[in-house]
Amino acid sequence: MSIPTNGVPVKEELEQVIPPAEILAKGPVVVVECFQNIPCDPCAASCPSGAIQPFEDINNLPTVDYEKCTGCGLCIASCPGLAIFVVDINYSDKEALLKIPYEMLPLPKKGQVVAGLDRSGRKVADVKVARVQRTKNKTNIITIIVPKDLAMVIRNIKVGDEQNG
């Protein structure tokens, strides 16, 4: 898989990593948006259910056995490329839950409304923070409530008054 020149994956690349609709309908599931063949494999080592398959070659891209994924999110903070998310489109009729990696300060607070950003950093919606998980490393996990139709669009947040608009 090639890397887009602007760093934002194209539709064809995303289609290769977004879980099938029938898997998304079952509950929380990992989405690994890793497109670089580099020596990296902490995601596989961190997955307690073995859903992220062991690498035959450390330079391979991650592969996921969605039937094994529980949506626990332990892999999120292990990814140095911030390329792993957990999506739960069954949160409500109109909203989905999205667990994202977050390394910026200030950290948002539970209940806070923040800007939901797409892969290029553009604000696409206001979203609500459902949970803030501090981890042992610098990558925290933020769970946000997003409009269901934006669950595969929003990939980051911006905290503060200077939100993109």
Every domain of the chain and the residues it spans: 11-158
CA 131/CA 112 separation, integer angstroms: 10
For 58-115, the pLDDT digits (tens) are 999 999 999 999 999 999 999 999 999 999 999 999 999 999 999 999 999 999 999 9
Tell whether the model's pLDDT for residue 162 goes beyond 80: no
SS3 readout for the chain: CCCCCCCCCCHHHHHHHCCCHHHHCCCCEEEECCCCCCCCCHHHHHCCCCCECCCCCCCCCCCECCCCCCCCCCCCCCCCCCCEEEEECCCCCCEEEEEEEECCCCCCCCCCEEEEECCCCCEEEEEEEEEEECCCCCCEEEEEEEEHHHCCCCCEEECCCCCCC
pTM attached to this predicted model: 0.88
Tell whether the model's pLDDT for residue 123 goes beyond 60: yes
The confidence score (pLDDT) of residue 14 equals: 79
